[in-house]
A and B are shown apart, each in its own frame.
Chain A
C-alpha cells in the first residue's frame, strides 16, 4: 500500500496537458536542494519558542490571502518574519485593475496588522499569467 511519504505534495504524472508551477512540480525532498521554504521564521531554531503558533498563523494567512485575492494568486505566498514585522510576498496575475489591487492591499495590511498585533507588509509582484514550469 502506498505510504503517505510517497504521495505527499507531488503532482502525479498525467497526460501532459496539466500546467504545473515550479513550486508544485518539485516533491518535498527537493526542499533546500531545488526549492526554498515558503515560510521563514526562527521558531524552529534551538531554544526558540512558539513554532506551532507560527504554523497556525501561516495556515490562516494563506487561507486569508487566497480568499482576499480571488483567483489571481499565481503561486504560493511566501511569508518572511523579520523581528516583529511580517512580510507577505505574493505573486499575482493581472486579473484586477491596479486601483482595486491597491484597495485590497490596504485592506489586507490593516486587517492583518490589527489581528496579529504586528506590522504586516504586503509586497506584490504581478505576472501576466501563471508561470508554468512544465506540463504533467
Chain B
C-alpha cells in the first residue's frame, strides 16, 4: 500500500489530493453530490438514456422505470403500485377499490399494510436527499437485504422517522379489513415499534394474543426493542423482556441472532442489572448455536465498559479472541459499531490489544465495517495510544506510514506526537512536524503553537537545529501578524512572544528579535518579558556586537520598572564598551 497516496476515490493529483480530514470529507461528499445530480438528470429525462444498444443489456445503467404501467382500478394495479413503493397512490387505489366494492385479497392487503408500516405513512423517497456517506456502506446494506426478509433500508440511517400519527392510513385500513391474520397483526406491531408508538404496539400484541394468533420472530424482536420505551425501571424492563421470551417459547418461535442483539441493546439501558444478565444471554446464544455478530460484542462492551465505575474484566480479551478467529459478515444493522471495540481498547491503554485489533481489521472483509469518518477516528485513537505507549522510532514509523494516506491527524494527535518526541528527546524532528501542521491547517491553533514554541525554546540546541527552529518561529510570527480578510487576528500571548524572542536570539538574529520585541507589542498585550528572555537577548546582542540594541533593551526594562533592570544595566556596563553618550 502506498503510504503517500490518498484514498483511491480521489484523483491522483497534488492539487486535487485532500490534505486534512475536513478536505477529504468535503471532496468525497462533493463527488457524491455530483453523482446525485447526474442521477437526477437521468430520472428527469429518461427518454435520452433508454436506448438499449449494449449486448447484453446492462440493467443498472438504464433509467429506472418508476411509473406504474397498469392503469385503471384493479387489484393488479394495486399490486404494482405497492411493488413500486408508491405509498400515496396505493392507498388511494385501495380506497377506490373498497368503495367500488371489489374485494381485495388478503395477501394484497397484507402487502399494503407492510408498505404502510415500513414507511410510516410518509412517502418513500424523501424530497431532500440526506447526505450519503460513501459507498462503503453499500455492501453492508446489500447483505442485510439478504438476511432480513422485509424491505431493505432505503438509505441506511433512519434518524428522522416520522411519528406514528393517530388513525393514520395503516390503522384505518387495518380496522376496515374484514379478516385479519397473524401477518397483519405482526406488520402493524412492527410498524408501530419502528415509528415510536410502543404503547400501541403492546396493545396490538395483546389483541393478537386474544385472537389466538402466533407472532413470528421479527415481531418479537420488535417488541423487545420497544421494551425500554414501555417501562422505566430496570427490573421491570427485564421482567417484561422475560415475559416476551416466555411467550416466544410457548408459541414455538425460534429466537435468532437479532433477538439476542435486541435483548442486549435493551440491556444497555439497564445499568448494573445489564451486566449480570448479559452473560446469561450470551450463554443462551451459545447453547442455541447462534454465532454472535459484531453488534453483539459491541453491546457487551458497552454494557461492561461504559458504566461509571469501570471495573476491568477480562471480557475484552475474550471478545478479541473471538473477533480474531472469524471473519464477519454484516448481519445486523448495528454492525457498524466495530469502532466501540477500538474505543475501549484505547481507553484501557493496552497496546497489545490494539495491535491484535488492527490485524483483525485487515483480515478478510472486516474493513467494510468502518466507513471513512469512523476510520479516521479509529486511527486517531490508535495513534494516540501508540504515542503514549511505544518507543519513538515505532511511533515515527507509524506516523510516516499512516498519514496522509490512512488517516489525517487530529490536533490531539499532533500534541501527543510532540509530547512523545519530547519524552524521547528527539526535538530535531519538530520542524518537519511544523510543516505537517501547516499542511493540515493547524497553524492557527493556539494550544499547538504554545506547545511547539515552548518545546523549541526550552534548552539550547546545536547550531543547525537552532536555525531550523528560528525559521519555524518566523513562520509562527507571520501567522500571528497576518491580517487576513476573513481570519481573526491571533493574539500574541506573553509566553509565545517570549519564546519567539528566545529562539531568534539564540540563532543570532538580533534584528528580528528586536523587531519582535518592540515596545508597543509588549505593551499591547500588557505582558512583561521574562528575565531569561532579556538575558538571552543580551547574549545575542553581545555576539553580534550591537550595543544599540542592548541599550534599547535596558531602556525597555527600566520603563517596565523591573527589578532585573539593575542587573541588566550592570551587566551591560561590564560586557560592552560603551561610549559616554551611550552611558
Residues of A within 8 A of B (CB): 94, 98-111, 113-115, 117-118, 123-126
Given contacts A115-B49, A117-B53, contact A110 B13 (CB under 8 A): no
- Shortest 3 CB-CB distances between A and B: which pairs? A106-B34, A110-B38, A107-B34
User: Which residues of chain B come closer than 8 Å to A105, judged between CB atoms?
Assistant: 11, 31, 34
Q: With A98-B27, A107-B34 given, can you name 16 additional A-B contacts, CB distance below 8 Å?
A: A98-B23, A99-B27, A102-B11, A102-B27, A103-B37, A106-B30, A106-B37, A107-B37, A109-B34, A110-B34, A113-B61, A114-B49, A114-B63, A117-B52, A117-B58, A124-B11
User: Which residues of chain A come closer than 8 Å to B426, judged between CB atoms?
Assistant: none
Residues of B within 8 A of A (CB): 10-16, 18, 23, 26-28, 30-35, 37-39, 41-42, 48-49, 52-54, 57-58, 61-63
| Cβ–Cβ contact A103 & B31, under 8 A | yes
User: Which residues of chain B come closer than 8 Å to A106, judged between CB atoms?
Assistant: 30-35, 37-38
User: Which residue of chain B has its CB nearest to the CB of A119?
Assistant: B61
User: Which residue of chain A has its CB nearest to the CB of B39?
Assistant: A110
| Cβ–Cβ contact A102 & B31, under 8 A | yes
Given contacts A104-B34, A117-B61, contact A111 B42 (CB under 8 A): yes
User: Which residues of chain A come closer than 8 Å to B61, judged between CB atoms?
Assistant: 113-114, 117-118
User: Which residue of chain B has its CB nearest to the CB of A104?
Assistant: B34
| Cβ–Cβ contact B26 & A111, under 8 A | no
User: Which residues of chain A come closer than 8 Å to B53, judged between CB atoms?
Assistant: 117
| Cβ–Cβ contact A118 & B30, under 8 A | no
User: Which residues of chain A come closer than 8 Å to B12, judged between CB atoms?
Assistant: 123
| Cβ–Cβ contact A94 & B34, under 8 A | no
| Cβ–Cβ contact A98 & B15, under 8 A | yes
User: Which residue of chain B has its CB nearest to the CB of A122?
Assistant: B11
| Cβ–Cβ contact B15 & A114, under 8 A | no
A123–B10 Cα distance when bound, in Å, is: 10
A74–B39 Cα distance when bound, in Å, is: 28
Contact partner, B26, options A99, A104, A126, Cβ 8 Å: A99
User: Which residues of chain A come closer than 8 Å to B33, judged between CB atoms?
Assistant: 103, 106
21 contacts between A and B (CB under 8 A): A98-B23, A99-B26, A99-B27, A100-B30, A101-B16, A102-B34, A105-B11, A105-B31, A106-B31, A107-B34, A107-B35, A107-B37, A110-B34, A110-B42, A111-B42, A114-B61, A114-B63, A118-B54, A118-B61, A123-B11, A123-B12
User: Which residues of chain B come closer than 8 Å to A103, judged between CB atoms?
Assistant: 30-31, 33-34, 37
User: Which residues of chain B come closer than 8 Å to A99, judged between CB atoms?
Assistant: 26-27, 30
User: Which residue of chain B has its CB nearest to the CB of A128?
Assistant: B15
User: Which residue of chain B has its CB nearest to the CB of A124?
Assistant: B11
| Cβ–Cβ contact B31 & A124, under 8 A | no
Contact partner, A110, options B11, B18, B35, B48, Cβ 8 Å: B35
Q: How far is the CB of A31 from chain B (nearest CB, A)?
A: 27
Contact partner, A125, options B13, B18, B32, B54, Cβ 8 Å: B13
| Cβ–Cβ contact B15 & A94, under 8 A | yes
Q: How far is the CB of B146 from chain A (nearest CB, A)?
A: 25
A94–B32 Cα distance when bound, in Å, is: 21
User: Which residues of chain A come closer than 8 Å to B16, judged between CB atoms?
Assistant: 98, 101-102, 124, 126
A117–B61 Cα distance when bound, in Å, is: 6
User: Which residues of chain A come closer than 8 Å to B52, judged between CB atoms?
Assistant: 117
Q: How far is the CB of B376 from chain A (nearest CB, A)?
A: 18
User: Which residue of chain B has its CB nearest to the CB of A112?
Assistant: B38
A108–B42 Cα distance when bound, in Å, is: 12
User: Which residues of chain B come closer than 8 Å to A102, judged between CB atoms?
Assistant: 10-11, 16, 27-28, 30-31, 34
User: Which residues of chain B come closer than 8 Å to A113, judged between CB atoms?
Assistant: 61
User: Which residue of chain B has its CB nearest to the CB of A101?
Assistant: B16
Q: How far is the CB of A41 from chain B (nearest CB, A)?
A: 16
A125–B18 Cα distance when bound, in Å, is: 15
A114–B47 Cα distance when bound, in Å, is: 12
Q: How far is the CB of A46 from chain B (nearest CB, A)?
A: 22
A1–B275 Cα distance when bound, in Å, is: 96
User: Which residues of chain A come closer than 8 Å to B28, judged between CB atoms?
Assistant: 102
| Cβ–Cβ contact B38 & A114, under 8 A | yes
Q: How far is the CB of A91 from chain B (nearest CB, A)?
A: 10
Q: How far is the CB of A43 from chain B (nearest CB, A)?
A: 15
Given contacts A98-B16, A99-B30, A126-B16, contact A114 B37 (CB under 8 A): no
Q: How far is the CB of B280 from chain A (nearest CB, A)?
A: 50
User: Which residue of chain B has its CB nearest to the CB of A123?
Assistant: B11
User: Which residues of chain B come closer than 8 Å to A104, judged between CB atoms?
Assistant: 34
User: Which residue of chain A has its CB nearest to the CB of B48?
Assistant: A115
User: Which residues of chain B come closer than 8 Å to A124, judged between CB atoms?
Assistant: 11, 13, 16
Q: How far is the CB of A52 from chain B (nearest CB, A)?
A: 14
A67–B54 Cα distance when bound, in Å, is: 26
A118–B62 Cα distance when bound, in Å, is: 11
Q: How far is the CB of B37 from chain A (nearest CB, A)?
A: 5
User: Which residues of chain B come closer than 8 Å to A114, judged between CB atoms?
Assistant: 38, 42, 49, 61-63
User: Which residues of chain B come closer than 8 Å to A101, judged between CB atoms?
Assistant: 16
A123–B12 Cα distance when bound, in Å, is: 8
Q: How far is the CB of A49 from chain B (nearest CB, A)?
A: 12
Q: How far is the CB of B52 from chain A (nearest CB, A)?
A: 8
A115–B48 Cα distance when bound, in Å, is: 8
Of B18, B38, B42, the most chain A CB neighbours within 10 A belong to: B38
User: Which residues of chain B come closer than 8 Å to A123, judged between CB atoms?
Assistant: 11-12
A101–B23 Cα distance when bound, in Å, is: 13
User: Which residue of chain A has its CB nearest to the CB of B59?
Assistant: A117
A109–B53 Cα distance when bound, in Å, is: 19
A106–B39 Cα distance when bound, in Å, is: 10
Of A98, A108, A126, the most chain B CB neighbours within 10 A belong to: A98
Of B16, B41, B49, the most chain A CB neighbours within 10 A belong to: B16
User: Which residue of chain B has its CB nearest to the CB of A111?
Assistant: B38
A102–B9 Cα distance when bound, in Å, is: 10
A104–B41 Cα distance when bound, in Å, is: 14
A107–B31 Cα distance when bound, in Å, is: 7
Contact partner, A126, options B15, B39, B48, Cβ 8 Å: B15
A113–B57 Cα distance when bound, in Å, is: 13
User: Which residues of chain B come closer than 8 Å to A118, judged between CB atoms?
Assistant: 54, 58, 61
Of B14, B18, B23, B35, the most chain A CB neighbours within 10 A belong to: B35
A125–B15 Cα distance when bound, in Å, is: 9
Q: How far is the CB of B39 from chain A (nearest CB, A)?
A: 6
User: Which residues of chain A come closer than 8 Å to B48, judged between CB atoms?
Assistant: 115
User: Which residues of chain A come closer than 8 Å to B35, judged between CB atoms?
Assistant: 106-107, 109-110
User: Which residue of chain B has its CB nearest to the CB of A98?
Assistant: B16
User: Which residues of chain A come closer than 8 Å to B57, judged between CB atoms?
Assistant: 117
User: Which residues of chain A come closer than 8 Å to B11, judged between CB atoms?
Assistant: 102, 105, 123-124
